[in-house]
Chain A
Amino acid sequence: MSETAEQIPQQHEQRPAKKPRFEKHKGTPDLSQPMSETKRAILTSFTQYRDTLDAHYDRRERVIKCSRDITALSKKIDSPDRVFADAESKQKQVLELFRKMSAELQGSNGYKYNRQATPGLQEYIEAIGLWTFLRDSTLITKQQVVESLSVADESGEVKPLLMVSDEDYILGVSDLPGEVNRYCINSIGKGDRNAVERSLAFLRELKEGINFVLCGGRIRDLDKKIPKIEKAYYSMSIRDDEMAKINPTAVAAAADA
């Protein structure tokens, strides 16, 4: 099962480069031919505009590519089943991609290409958020995210590679309940009461927290997810109570195990 989880994200990397349907206009138009002054002025300035727009579109493509690669790799760091053995090295590879992406996101470009960069960043936050939960049963803080994305530059100063906005953080974190939910359901299957306890405690606290923050979109989906989790836990508790009624010694034995 874990093998398939590791294979899925490969798709992006193997997709061949798309062939452009039209040849790009390159170079300068032939201005030596006889033409009116207005036309010459227009063609000259539009050649400049074309180069500016091309640079912008290319940069946007590169950010999208990086963001997708980060998404694919983040899925390989951990899953609700386990933290993969090579999580540390995968984390290093992701950092390398972030380093590449951060070159495109300097200064005002950070927000300009935020829409393209944010999916990968969110997926990464989700991955290390789950990792943090599995390890410490706590919610990853924005500070921890920023720290995990910080590397030392040439002068040895540790700086974050890119800006993490509050939206990036909250949207990344809002994907956690789904993952923790899966972890919780798997634990019910395995009869791991301790894991179920700590996921539920985590989810309840997260829900309380999320209720504080009012914003639209995917955050609202949380409201639908949490009852689902609580229902599963309810079924489990009801079964346990039923079991206890029929056979109290068996339940006590299971709890000890």
Chain B
Amino acid sequence: MDVQVFVDLQNQFDSESSLREEISAATKELHKTCRLASAKLSKAHAVPKTQSKQVTDSVKEQFATIHTNIEAIAKQVRPVTFYRYHDMWSMAVQNACAMVIFAVYLEESRLATAADIQSYLGYRVNVTNEDVTEFVITLEEYLHGIISLFSELSRLAVNSVIVNDVQRPQEISQFASELYAGFQLLNLKNDSLRRRFDSIKYDIKKIEEVQYDLRVRGLIA
């Protein structure tokens, strides 16, 4: 038996851990930008619908930074080892997707498609789960981003009443239930997507309670 075998193995592990460090440093930057974007976007909760365009315009700059942040991660990984390190940045990319999805909803009251994600973040969503040949955003990351939208929607329903917009909760409720119908088509297994999906119903309930309060007081038809 040759100790050299183990020395070689150790060298392999060493070079890998320095790669991991670089990826994690790049991911940290992405997290930072996402937090800034999130802080800016959350102002949308405090203003009426008419002003939400200003809010989303103010985060455009962060979306561009997110693109460069993801680029920095993408440079570190080769397609074949994509899934080996995928867990390291997955959470951050989920957040980035959530930001885009919320921003698109605020602007156009619709669900951001995979194509929207690509145009904002510069990377394709792998909706058909095909073999990875370049850096992609996975379908799961996109779906996680959509699930995050539900909690924003339930807050938005409450907050739009605060800014005297009693029509908006109705619109939100309609949209949330349509989106929920989409999610119900999925056959989720017992994984993180499933667990977060289970929390959607509480957000829907909150939106419905807002509508109930408005209607019972005769504030909406």
Contacts and interface: CB of A to CB of B under 8 A. Distances in A.
B80 A49 contact: no
Given A53-B187, A112-B83, A213-B10, A38 B111 contact: yes
B6 A210 contact: yes
B9 A166 contact: yes
B185 A29 contact: yes
A111 B82 contact: yes
Contacts of B55: none
A146 interface: no
Given A38-B178, A139-B1, A213 B80 contact: no
A36 B186 CA distance: 20
A38 B186 contact: no
Interface string A120-141: 0000000000000000001101
A212 B8 CA distance: 10
B181 interface: yes
A114 interface: yes
Query: Which secondary structure characterizes the binding site on chain A?
Result: helix
Interface in A92-149: 106-112, 114, 138-139, 141-142
A233 interface: no
- From A36, A39, A55, A138, name the one whose CB has the most chain B CB atoms within 10 angstroms: A39
Contact of B82 (A42, A50, A108): A108
B80 A110 contact: yes
Contacts of B131: 106-109
Contacts, number: 115
> Chain B interface secondary structure, helix, strand, loop or mixed?
helix
Contact of A52 (B6, B79, B83, B129): B129
Given A38-B110, A166-B13, A108 B83 contact: yes
A234 interface: no
B9 A39 contact: no
Classify chain B's interface size: 35 or more
A50 B185 contact: yes
B111 A107 contact: no
A47 interface: yes
B182 A212 contact: no
A25 interface: yes
B81 interface: yes
B13 A46 contact: no
A114 B174 CA distance: 42
Interface in A179-208: 202, 205-206, 208
B188 to A, nearest CB: 7
Contact of A108 (B10, B80, B110, B189): B80
Interface string A203-237: 00110111011110000000000000000000000
Contacts of B5: 139, 141-142, 209
A236 to B, nearest CB: 23
B210 interface: no
A99 B13 CA distance: 28
B129 A56 contact: yes
Nearest to A46: B182
Interface in B1-51: 1, 3, 5-7, 9-10, 12-13
A43 interface: yes
Nearest to A57: B189
B110 A49 contact: no
A11 to B, nearest CB: 22
B44 to A, nearest CB: 20
Given A52-B139, A166-B9, A39 B111 contact: no
Contacts of A53: 139, 186-188
A41 interface: yes
Given A53-B139, A212-B3, 11 more contacts: A24-B187, A25-B187, A38-B111, A39-B178, A42-B111, A42-B178, A49-B127, A49-B185, A108-B133, A170-B9, A209-B3
Q: List the 3 closest pairs (A to B, CB-CB), nearest first.
A: A46-B182, A108-B132, A112-B83
18 contacts: A25-B187, A38-B110, A41-B110, A41-B113, A42-B111, A46-B183, A46-B185, A49-B139, A53-B186, A53-B188, A57-B187, A107-B80, A108-B133, A111-B83, A114-B84, A139-B1, A206-B1, A212-B6
Interface of A: 24-25, 29, 36, 38-39, 41-43, 45-50, 52-57, 106-112, 114, 138-139, 141-142, 166, 169-170, 202, 205-206, 208-210, 212-215
